[in-house]
Amino acid sequence: MDPEILEDWDRRLRGLLVAVCLLFAVLFLRLFHLQITTAADYAKESEDNRIAQRRVKAPRGLIVDRDDEVLARNRASYSISLIRGSTEDDARSVAALEEAIGEPVSYSRRSASVRLKRDVDFQTVALVEERLRGDGFPLHVDIEPQRDYPYGELTAHIIGYMGELREEEAASATGRYLLGDYVGKTGLEKVYEDSLRGVDGVSYVEMDARLRIKDEHPFPDREQAPIPGHDLRLTLDLDIQRAAAQAMPDTLAGSVVAIDARTGAVLAMVSHPSFDPNVFVSYRAQDERRQIVQDSHRPLLNRAVSGLYPPGSTLKLVGAVAALEAGITDTLSTFEACAGSLQVGDVVFRCNNRDGHGELNLLDATASSCNIYFNHLALILGIETWHEYGRRFGFGISTGIDLDPEEQPGLLPDRQYHIEREGWVTGHLMNLVIGQGYMLVTPLQVARYAAALGNGGVLVTPHFYGEAPPTQQIEGVSPETWETVRLGMHRVVYGENGTGRRARVAGIEVAGKSGTAQGPRTNDDAWFVAFAPYDDPQIAVAVVVEDGGGGGATAAPVAGAVIRAYLEDQARRQQAVSAETLQTPEPGS
C-alpha cells in the first residue's frame, strides 16, 4: 500500500485504541469498585441470598388443671407458601393452587416467601406435595405448631384463645414477634403470654434460588436452641368444672364460680353459653368464627368476671352484718311484723311473700329472705353505713383475678351516685339492701363474698395460677356477728322455711343464700351463693341463671351439684393419698 495511507492508518489506529482503552477503563474501574472496594458488602449479600436465618419456634407451654389434665396443647399444622418469582409466575401458581383446592387464596407480594394458606388438611398437603410441586409450581409446605384446646367449650372463657398478631401489635412488640405470629388474645393465654411463649431459637439453612435446601446446618456454631415456654398448672379442677357446666340449665345463660374459700384459688368458672376456642385458632373456620362473634347470646362474654347483674337477696347479708355490728339488731330481736308490704315515702315496697311473713328474727328473715325485715333494718342503718360494709366485702371494685383485663368492677352506689342522677330518696336504700336498684355485681365478686361470709371475713383474691395472693381480713366485724350470719345461711338450706333447701348435699353441711333479682330480662335472674362444709368452709360457690326465676328453685341445685362434685373429688384425693401411704414401707420395719 501507499506509505501515505499506511501512515494515516497508523494514526487512526492510535485514535481507535485510545477510544477502546477508554471503554475498557470504565469496565476496569467498575470491576475494581465491585471486587476490591465494596467486595465485603457483596460477599454479605451473597450469603444473605443462600443462607436463610430460620426461627425455631419455642414450644408454647401447656396449660393443665390441678390434676394435670391438659387443657391447652400444641399440634402440628400445615401451611402452604409460595416462593416468589415474577408477577406472572406468582399469579399462575396462585391460580393453580386455587383451582386445585377449589377455594380462593389471598396473596400479596410483600416478602420473598408468601404464606398463601394456613392450617390446611392432609389432603391439601398431599395435593401440593405430589401434584403442584411436581408440575413445577414453586409452592412448599411448612409445618408450624398450632394451639389445640381438647376441652373446647368447657374451658373456653378461662383459657381464652390465641390469634394472629395484628400489624400494629407487631410493630410495638420489638423483635420478639413477627407479623402472622400467634399470641394469646384472651383469657389465661393472654395474661400468661410471656411465660407460656418461651424464647425462640435460631438456625440457619443453605438454599438455592428455588429454595431447595442444600445444607441443613451450614453454621452449627451460630445456632441457638429454643427455650420452651413454661407449663401452667392451674388451680382449676376439671371435674368440678364439668359438674358445674352440666348442672347449668342448657337453654339459659348464666355463670357458676367456685373458689377455695381459704385461698381464693378458682376451682371452677363456668360462663354459659360458651364457644369452641379451636374455631379461633384454626384458619379453616372463618364462618364459624363470624357466627360466634355475631351471636346475640354473646357466648364470647365471660359472664363470671364481665357479666354485671343485680345480686338480689344474696346481698342481704351485707345489711345483716352491718346491722349486727351497729347494734341495730341481734339474733333474737324482731322488727315490726311483715305484712307483705311497706310504704317508704311515696313508694310501696313488697315482700316476696305477699301475705307477709309475720314477725321474724334475723335468722328466720335470712332463711325466708323477707324483704320487709331488711327494709326496716336499712331504715335505721342508713345508706352510708350500708355502703361502707358493701365496700368492705369488695363490691364495686375488681377482685384482681389473673384474668385481666376483662374483669368488671361492678357498681356499689352511694348517696352521691343517686344525687348525681335523679336525687336521693330513702326508697333507693330499700332497693339496694335487697340487692336491687343500681347495684351491679359479677358472679366472681359474689363467690368471694360467699367465701368471706363462711370463713369469718377473710377476703381472698381469686386466682388461677401461682402462689395464693395475700388475703385481707374484713375489719371491725366481731366473731359473733360472723357466727350469726353463718347460722342464718345454714337455715337457708336446712331451716323449715329455708329458700335454699335444694342446695343440700348428702355427706356435707352446706350454708347459702338464695336471690331472685329483677333485671332487664323477662324473668328474674336466679341466684344462689353457698359455702361448705359449714364448720370449716373450703369451697364457696356463686351461681346466677339469667331468666331462671326463683333462686332457690333454679340456682340452688346448681350450687349443690358443684359442692357434691367437690366432695367426690376430695374423697378421690384422700383415697389416692391413703393408697400411697399404704404402699410406702414403714421406715425401719
Partner 1 sequence: MKRELDLSLLVAVGMTIIFGITMIYSAASGSTLWRSQAIYAFLAVAAAVAIVYVPDKLFYDLTYALYAFGLLTLLAVLAFGTGEPARWLSLTPGGSLRIQPSEFAKITTVMALARFLGDRSSEQVVSPRAIIGAVVISMIPIALVSRQPDLGTAVSFGAPLIPMLYWAGMRPLHIFFLVAPLLSVVCSFEPLWQDQAPIVFALYIIVSSVVIQLLLARLWVTLSMLAVNLSAGLVTVYLWANFLLAYQKARVLTLLDPERDPLGTGWNIIQSRIAIGSGGPTGKGFLQGTQTKYEFLPAAHTDFIFSVIGEELGFMGAVFVLALFLFLIWRALYIGTMANSRFASLLAVGLGSILTFHVFVNVGMTIGVMPVTGLPLPFLSYGGSSLMTNALAVGLLLHIYAHRHEY
Instruction: Find the shortest distance in angstroms from Cβ 334 to Zn ion.
Output: 12
Residues engaged in binding partner 1 (CB under 8 A): 1, 5-6, 8-10, 12-13, 15-17, 19-21, 23-24, 26-28, 30-32, 34-36, 38-39, 41-43, 45-46, 49-50, 84-87, 112, 207-210, 214
**Binding flag, residue 259, Zn ion (CB under 5 A):** no
Query: Segment contacting Zn ion (CB under 5 A): 303-311, 312-320, 333-341, 438-446?
Result: 333-341
Instruction: Find the shortest distance in angstroms from Cβ 224 to partner 1.
Output: 24
Instruction: Find the shortest distance in angstroms from Cβ 353 to Zn ion.
Output: 5
Three-state secondary structure call for residue 501 = helix
Instruction: Find the shortest distance in angstroms from Cβ 143 to partner 1.
Output: 24
| Of 93 and 155, CB closest to partner 1 | 93
**Binding flag, residue 351, Zn ion (CB under 5 A):** yes
**What is the rounded distance in angstroms from the CA atom of residue 273 to the CA atom of residue 253?**
6
| Of 17 and 293, CB closest to partner 1 | 17
Q: Which three cell numbers stand for residue 524?
A: 328474674
Instruction: Find the shortest distance in angstroms from Cβ 36 to partner 1.
Output: 6
CA distances from 584 to 97, 572, 573, 579, 589 (A): 62, 19, 17, 9, 11
Which listed option, partner 1, Zn ion, none, makes contact with residue 351 (CB within 5 to 8 Å by class)? Zn ion
| Of 10 and 142, CB closest to partner 1 | 10
| Of 46 and 518, CB closest to partner 1 | 46
| Of 254 and 551, CB closest to Zn ion | 551
**What is the rounded distance in angstroms from the CA atom of residue 322 to the CA atom of residue 107?**
65
Q: Which three cell numbers stand for residue 329?
A: 339488731
The C-alpha angle with vertex 208 and arms to 203 and 209, in degrees rounded to 5, equals 120
| Of 13 and 337, CB closest to partner 1 | 13
| Of 22 and 582, CB closest to partner 1 | 22
DSSP β-ladder status, 511-517 and 525-532: antiparallel
User: Which member of 158, 338, 429, 459 binds Zn ion (CB under 5 A)?
Assistant: 338
| Of 54 and 57, CB closest to partner 1 | 54
**What is the rounded distance in angstroms from the CA atom of residue 163 to the CA atom of residue 170?**
13
Tell me the torsion sign for CA atoms 145, 68, 225, 200.
positive
**Binding flag, residue 370, Zn ion (CB under 5 A):** yes
Distant-in-sequence, close-in-space partners of 184: CB < 8 Å, separation ≥ 6: 160, 161, 162, 190, 191, 192, 193, 196
| Of 198 and 218, CB closest to partner 1 | 218
Which listed option, Zn ion, partner 1, none, makes contact with residue 207 (CB within 5 to 8 Å by class)? partner 1
Instruction: Find the shortest distance in angstroms from Cβ 56 to partner 1.
Output: 23
Residue type, 524: D
Which listed option, Zn ion, partner 1, none, makes contact with residue 43 (CB within 5 to 8 Å by class)? partner 1
Three-state secondary structure call for residue 350 = strand
Neighbours of 119 (CB within 10 A): 17
**What is the rounded distance in angstroms from the CA atom of residue 352 to the CA atom of residue 372?**
9
Which listed option, Zn ion, partner 1, none, makes contact with residue 370 (CB within 5 to 8 Å by class)? Zn ion
**What is the rounded distance in angstroms from the CA atom of residue 282 to the CA atom of residue 120?**
9
Three-state secondary structure call for residue 317 = helix
CA distances from 537 to 106, 284, 324, 470, 527 (A): 57, 47, 22, 18, 20
**Binding flag, residue 559, Zn ion (CB under 5 A):** no
Q: Is the peptide bond before 277 cis (omega within 30 degrees of 0)?
A: no
**Binding flag, residue 357, Zn ion (CB under 5 A):** yes
Per-residue burial over 242-259, b = 16 or more CB atoms within 10 Å of its CB, e = otherwise: bbbbebbbeebbbbbbbb
Which listed option, Zn ion, partner 1, none, makes contact with residue 372 (CB within 5 to 8 Å by class)? Zn ion
Which listed option, partner 1, Zn ion, none, makes contact with residue 73 (CB within 5 to 8 Å by class)? none
Report yes or no: 139 and 85 within 8 Å, Cβ to Cβ: no
**What is the rounded distance in angstroms from the CA atom of residue 364 to the CA atom of residue 99?**
75
Instruction: Find the shortest distance in angstroms from Cβ 24 to partner 1.
Output: 6
Instruction: Find the shortest distance in angstroms from Cβ 185 to partner 1.
Output: 34
Which listed option, partner 1, Zn ion, none, makes contact with residue 38 (CB within 5 to 8 Å by class)? partner 1
Which listed option, partner 1, Zn ion, none, makes contact with residue 6 (CB within 5 to 8 Å by class)? partner 1
Which listed option, partner 1, Zn ion, none, makes contact with residue 133 (CB within 5 to 8 Å by class)? none
| Of 20 and 380, CB closest to partner 1 | 20
Residues that bind Zn ion (CB under 5 A): 338, 351, 357, 370, 372
